[in-house]
Amino acid sequence: MTDETSFDDRAAESPILRRSLHDETVARLRDMIIDGRLAPGDRVNEGDVGRRLGVSRTPMREALKTLAAEGLIENVPGRGAVVRAFTRDDVFDMLEALKIIEQEAGRLACARASDADIASLRAVHDRMMQLYAVRSRLNYFKLNQDIHSGFARISGNATLLWAHESIQARMKRIRFVGNGSEDKWAAAVAEHEEMIVALEAHDGDALAEVIGRHIDRTWVRVQDALPERASAAPAEEPLAS
């Protein structure tokens, strides 16, 4: 279960385009939040964390403003940045919204997407099947994000894609935690296959139905891993150990 050690996925980025320091800092902080180095409820000390990332307070503060707008942290006046902690209700809302967006994006994709677009999603799915075959959980998980936002991507609607990815970014930590047991994983893989088949058949209703089922079961799975009232962070490292 531990063929990978770090959650870091920066290596997968485009190799040519060098990002600005701001984007870099935002990305690294995002990673720290997702993989739990910054736990929900933690105060983010600009000086400390900035030193740790090798940037001064100014770009640090700017990155925190960006993350606040993304909904990953909260900026309390006079007290600085706090990693946002999601309640059970918050997570329910996020999944419900994700379901709506993904279903409708799926319908649009069935109506509009080119064969090449569909083939590209099929390719991602095939790679995920291979990763599932060797139980490479972390790499599977990484691609899982892609395939879900993939429907929004090939729907051709940039705003839907933006909304989906924004919400998914907040959920990443939680989905990471609630990745579930062997049989649940198998069921998820089967549903993915159903989705791709529906997409290839341009059957929007069928696709929406599977997506709905899939996300409903995600809610069940995630719910178990969620503490009663507070956030999404058990104290210990949940997966990458």
Partner DNA sequence: ATGCAACATGCTGTATGCAGCATACTTGAT
Partner DNA sequence: ATCAAGTATGCTGCATACAGCATGTTGCAT
Tell me the sheet residues that pair with 74.
Answer: 82
CA atoms within 13 A on the CB side of 229: 0
184 is in the binding site of which of a second copy, DNA, none (Cβ under 5 to 8 A by kind)?
none
Q: CB-wise, 169 or 210, nearer to a second copy?
A: 169
C-beta of 83 vs 171, nearer to DNA: 83
* 160 lies in the site for a second copy, by CB under 8 A: yes
d(CA 147, CA 192): 9
Is residue 158 close enough to count as binding a second copy by CB under 8 A? yes
Secondary element (H or E) of residue 80: strand 80-83
Q: Is residue 93 a contact point for a second copy (CB under 8 A)? A: yes
Stretch that binds a second copy, among 3-11, 93-101, 143-151, 192-200 (CB under 8 A): 93-101
We find the least distance from the C-beta atom of residue 229 to DNA, in angstroms, to be: 21
CA distances from 131 to 113, 136, 137, 143, 144 (A): 26, 5, 7, 10, 11
Q: Which is nearer to DNA, 17 or 116 (CB)?
A: 17
| Residue 153 · residue 161 · CB < 8 Å | yes
State which residue, 28 or 125, has the beta carbon closest to a second copy.
28
Residue 238 interacting partner from a second copy, DNA, none (CB closer than 5 to 8 Å by kind): none
The two three-digit tokens of residue 103, written as one number? 């279903």
